[in-house]
């Protein structure tokens, strides 16, 4: 499925959403991690998901491309119900880029090889086309000068930027970020957030699980606060982060501020 170039502003409310999650539940044995999540993300929208550890944020994100199988509920990506047993999930996944806490680069491959292997095996691109795309996205994240390096010779921030470039090389329609800066030393966080800000400015549809409140405030179109597997509060960043209505949200933000 091919989509038009994402708009510079989030899609209109009457346009079908890029991601539509309805009544989503997820349990691991007797532990209920998600308890009835309903959320829609419009094309071109940046949604930041915040909340305490164990609130279900990462599990929610992993359900969006079925890295975790929902216990019940419905997830529709670009009009395709991926919870339908007949769904060709691998086809849908090619449109969803995901960046994890850990960089997950192949240590025995150069940066260039890390970026071309999935393009060639999954998308069927030629070696020349895959390398051209790799160079394009490495330029985009400021890593073209490291194209022949191996992951062990890169800083954590550089590795994460390569991981973002690897996801972008697949030409995704949307990007999922699961605490992409949490494994980085503080001085390296800014370079990764800078790349994410650029993607948001370009109109990339993004769901971002993050503990970076300043990023959420200045980059997100909407902030979602989760606790105990539920969405407690959501809205524009200034409302949720500066004037939270729910007492649970207030307590969490006070705790973050006092760290």
Nearest to 76 by CA among 113, 145, 27, 23: 23
- pLDDT for the residue 187: 83
pLDDT digit string, tens, across residues 34-92: 999 999 999 999 999 999 998 999 999 999 999 999 999 999 999 999 999 999 988 89
pTM recorded for the entire structure: 0.90
Length of the chain equals: 259
pLDDT digit string, tens, across residues 137-194: 999 999 999 999 999 999 999 999 999 999 999 999 999 999 998 888 888 899 999 9
Burial category of 183 from C-beta neighbours within 10 Å (exposed 0-12, middle 13-18, buried 19 and up): middle
Tokens (6 digits) for 147: 């194209």
pLDDT digit string, tens, across residues 219-231: 999 999 999 999 9
pLDDT digit string, tens, across residues 102-118: 888 999 999 999 999 99
pLDDT grade, residue 8 (50/70/90)?
very low
- pLDDT for the residue 14: 63
- pLDDT for the residue 35: 95
- pLDDT for the residue 11: 58
Nearest to 44 by CA among 197, 173, 161: 173
- pLDDT for the residue 13: 57
- pLDDT for the residue 157: 92
36: left (phi over 0), alpha (psi -120 to 50) or beta: left
pLDDT grade, residue 6 (50/70/90)?
very low
Instruction: Pick 8 or 255 by higher pLDDT.
Output: 255
């Amino acid at each position: 499925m091919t989509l038009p170039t994402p708009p510079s502003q989030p899609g209109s409310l009457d346009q079908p959403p890029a991601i539509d999650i309805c009544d989503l539940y997820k349990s691991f044995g007797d532990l209920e991690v998600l308890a009835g999540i309903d959320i829609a993300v419009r094309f071109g929208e940046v949604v930041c998901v915040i909340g305490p550890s164990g609130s279900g944020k990462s599990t929610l994100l992993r359900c969006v491309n079925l890295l975790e199988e929902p216990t019940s509920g419905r997830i529709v990506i670009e009009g395709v119900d991926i919870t339908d047993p007949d769904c060709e999930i691998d086809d849908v996944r090619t449109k969803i880029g995901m960046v994890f806490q850990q960089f997950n680069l192949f240590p025995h491959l150069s940066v260039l090889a890390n970026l071309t292997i999935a393009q060639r095996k999954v998308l069927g691109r030629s070696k020349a086309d895959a390398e051209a795309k790799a160079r394009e996205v490495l330029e985009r994240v400021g890593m073209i000068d490291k194209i022949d390096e191996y992951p062990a010779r890169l800083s954590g921030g550089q590795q994460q930027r390569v991981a973002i470039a690897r996801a972008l090389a697949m030409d995704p329609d949307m990007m999922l970020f699961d605490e992409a800066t949490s494994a980085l030393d503080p001085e390296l966080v800014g370079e990764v957030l800078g790349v994410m800000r650029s993607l948001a400015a370009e109109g990339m549809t993004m769901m971002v699980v993050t503990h970076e409140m300043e990023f959420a405030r200045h980059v997100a179109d909407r902030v979602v606060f989760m606790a105990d597997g539920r969405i407690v509060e959501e809205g524009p960043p200034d409302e949720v982060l500066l004037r939270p209505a729910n007492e649970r949200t207030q307590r969490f933000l006070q705790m973050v501020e006092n760290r």
